[in-house]
């Protein structure tokens, strides 16, 4: 999940992975060249992209539209079943959007060498180990 969140932040060109945009070095990045409807459509496309990848993350990792159930808390679980599925889905999606926004507010912008160091030395090996573990779990039929 952590690898996914980092990859989503980089894929959507959000800070600290906004190397193409460079808002801290330019006034508003490459958006300064546009105004009016083109400017609005660039920002709309950026935030729609963030919403879509967060919706995918909510579906894959947080259970999508399924309500929150905690172990043997029958009263709590029964109460959670009354909340509509769409509210659960959008709540989880907006939680991930908030998480990505929080990264933007918290972390400083990375240089290109720091970004490549993070991706090649840490994220790629973690992803490969995760792939091997999931493959072994599928072959050996380990289910949690």
For 36-53, b/e burial (b = at least 16 CB within 10 A) is: eeeeeeeeeeeeeebbeb
Average pLDDT, the chain: 85
How many domains would you assign to the chain?
A: 2
pLDDT at 97: 94
Do 100 and 138 fall within a single domain? no
Do 64 and 134 fall within a single domain? no
Handedness of CA 49, 55, 111, 121 (dihedral sign): negative
Domain that holds residue 33: 2-110
Do 71 and 6 fall within a single domain? yes
Which residues contact residue 82 at a Cβ distance below 8 angstroms, ignoring those fewer than 6 apart? Answer: none
d(CA 103, CA 50): 13
Do 76 and 90 fall within a single domain? yes
pLDDT per residue over 47-95, tens digit each? Answer: 999 999 999 999 999 988 988 888 888 888 888 889 899 999 999 999 9
Do 72 and 31 fall within a single domain? yes
Do 36 and 70 fall within a single domain? yes
Do 10 and 65 fall within a single domain? yes
d(CA 102, CA 109): 13
Task: Give the residue carrying structure tokens 């679980």.
Answer: 77
For residue 33, pLDDT beyond 80: no
Do 102 and 133 fall within a single domain? no
DSSP string, 68-132: P--TT-HHHHHHHTTS-HHHHHHHHHHHHHHHHHHHHHHSPPPPHHHHHHHIIIIIHHHHHHHHH
Taking the model in full, what pTM does it have? 0.76
For residue 28, pLDDT beyond 80: no
């Amino acid at each position: 999940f952590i690898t996914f969140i980092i990859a989503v932040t980089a894929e959507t060109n959000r800070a600290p992975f906004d190397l193409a945009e460079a808002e801290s070095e330019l006034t508003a990045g490459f958006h300064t060249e546009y105004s009016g409807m083109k400017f609005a459509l660039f920002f709309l496309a950026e935030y729609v992209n963030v919403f879509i990848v967060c919706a995918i993350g909510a579906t894959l990792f947080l259970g999508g539209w399924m309500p929150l159930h905690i172990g043997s808390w029958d009263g709590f679980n029964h109460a959670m079943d009354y909340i509509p599925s769409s509210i659960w889905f959008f709540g989880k999606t907006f939680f991930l959007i908030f998480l990505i926004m929080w990264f933007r507010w918290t972390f400083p912008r990375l240089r290109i060498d720091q970004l490549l160091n993070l991706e090649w030395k840490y994220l790629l090996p973690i992803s490969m180990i995760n792939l091997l573990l999931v493959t072994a779990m599928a072959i050996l039929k380990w289910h949690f």
